[in-house]
Chain A
Amino acid sequence: MTDFAFMTIAEVSALIRDRKISPVEYTEALIARADKFDPKLNAYLRMTPDIAMAEARAAEEEIGKGNWRGLMHGVPYGLKDIIDRDGLPTTGHSKILVDNMATGDAPVAAKLRAAGGVLMGKMSTHEFAIGGPSFDLPWPPARNPWNRNHHPGGSSSGSGSALGAGFMPAALGSDTGGSVRNPASSCGIVGLKPTYGRTSRRGVLPLSFSLDHVGPMTRTVEDNAILLNVIAGFDPEDPGSAAVDAPDFTADLDKGVEGLKIGVIRHFYTRDQKADPEMAKSIEDALTVLQGLGAEVRELEIDPLEVYAGCNRTVLLGEAYAIHEKWLQERPEDYGDKCRERFLTGTFITAADYVNATRRRRILTNRFHAAIADLDVAVTVSSMEPACEIDDDAEIERSYGRQARAPFNLTGSPAISVPTGFASNGLPLAMQIVGKPFEEAMVYRVARAYEKATDWTNRQPDLEAGCRPPQKSD
């Protein structure tokens, strides 16, 4: 049996359903693991052991009576601390919202509660989902479980770190410019940004209304599809929510890639930006695996990365500044440095800048959709290099824009990060698989085929070795 800490949702769910393990004992063991290792990783902003044990006991009792609610029943999960859970603070990892109490569940949180999930806690995030790993906030930043001296990616940093560390099998993050896929890439896990509107944004602190997505984060592709099954769905009270039926995202998982057409957006990481050679090679090796499984791979040329980046930043920061304008005017000193500087970027974006960016957004989106019309998915890089050191501010700033995730927030396309190996420094490598609107099932199908042909998602960090003595930034 898999080490309990790294059991998947699929594995543990069956054991819980068949009453071969107790959700109470499993939850207790995960809490104990986090108690031991999280002081060195800070994946949690707020553990909720009382809630977790109560929900685990309720699940055990209910399942004992024959009322099994489904694959998340009795299964622990975490919520990025921008997602409301009734009765708990939603802080955005910021002094500004340190006392902000949620007065209801976000729909995605309500669905997990209704599914019988076990809330382990609220997870660390970059401040307001944008700031970057910061040491000037009320809570410390999350660290990378593969090497705690490194950045776990963000902004869903705690969710990524916790999954990589084996603190839980499921977590939710949010993704506005890459914030589910970045920590997934950096922590060696699986993270999906769904199609825009696939999951409700209500009850989630907004960063950019037209770019925000809530996404599932897990250690395997199958688990990711299981989690999306729970949280997906139309929300009539979310203006961006898509009134489309949500299929069973696990249905096509094992159909393989024979005959599928994959477009590789190689220019993103060989010309527009230059990826680290190990990262680039891992993507080429992954494409070779997919070809070996029967997929056809062809070159895909779309608009340059910097054009997408410029459009994404103008829309994102224009909307974000509008959201934060009042606090920036009244209490700028209460933001962390990194977050404040990011939000100040929106100060002089004019109305014409913003409108013209949205006009270009439509053009870029239409062009991308036309480019992949006769393909099944596109593949490209997620991050240009493995995660840097967490206290190297210059490198954090340099690498902030070195990514190919933001284009797919603009186009609203479903996009997943899956592990593709490890760099020579032991840190994870990853690729991104992008689909057509509402075709998460195809994205999962390709990701799953690759995952089954490799063993990257079976690798686990040695937390004893990675938890080195505190560095100067502690």
Chain B
Amino acid sequence: MTDTTDLADLKKRAEAAGLTRLTEEHLKQLQRATQGMQRHKENLRVELEVSDEPAHVFSLVEKG
């Protein structure tokens, strides 16, 4: 995982994503937010088989 603690590096990544107007305070928010999201991703520990498909169109209606 890319280290998100370096604000200068984060700034470069954000700018590459089109976020060129973030202030230093915004970058700190992005830093906290990204760290928080990483924790959420680590919680996604449901193992996937190759054939497990996404919910392409999330619907609870019977099809066919």
Is B truly associated with A? yes
Interface: B34 (CB within 8 A): yes
* Interface contact B34-A314, CB-CB below 8 Å: no
Complex CA–CA separation, A199 to B22 (angstroms): 37
Contact with B along A357-393 (1 / 0, CB 8 A): 1111111110000000000000000000000000000
* Interface contact A344-B30, CB-CB below 8 Å: yes
* Interface contact A412-B60, CB-CB below 8 Å: yes
- A196-B58, A330-B21, A332-B22 known; A359 and B30 CB under 8 Å? no
Complex CA–CA separation, A357 to B40 (angstroms): 11
The secondary-structure label for the interface of chain A is helix
Interface: B52 (CB within 8 A): yes
Contact with B along A335-371 (1 / 0, CB 8 A): 0010011101111110001011111111111000000
Q: Which of B43-64 contact A (CB under 8 A)?
A: 43-46, 48, 52-61
Complex CA–CA separation, A357 to B46 (angstroms): 9
Q: How many residues of B contact A (CB 8 A)?
A: 35
* Interface contact A337-B29, CB-CB below 8 Å: yes
Give chain B nearest CB distance to A400 CB in angstroms.
Answer: 10
Contact with B along A317-342 (1 / 0, CB 8 A): 10000000100111111000100111
* Interface contact B54-A355, CB-CB below 8 Å: yes
Q: Which of B5-42 contact A (CB under 8 A)?
A: 13-14, 17-23, 26, 29-30, 32-34, 36-37, 40-42
Give chain B nearest CB distance to A196 CB in angstroms.
Answer: 6
* Interface contact A242-B60, CB-CB below 8 Å: yes
Interface: A197 (CB within 8 A): yes
Interface: A69 (CB within 8 A): no
Chain B residues positioned under 8 Å from A239 (CB to CB): 57
* Interface contact A307-B37, CB-CB below 8 Å: no
Other than the given A242-B59, A347-B14, A359-B53, 8 more pairs (CB < 8 A) read: A329-B20, A333-B26, A347-B17, A358-B54, A360-B46, A362-B53, A363-B52, A437-B60
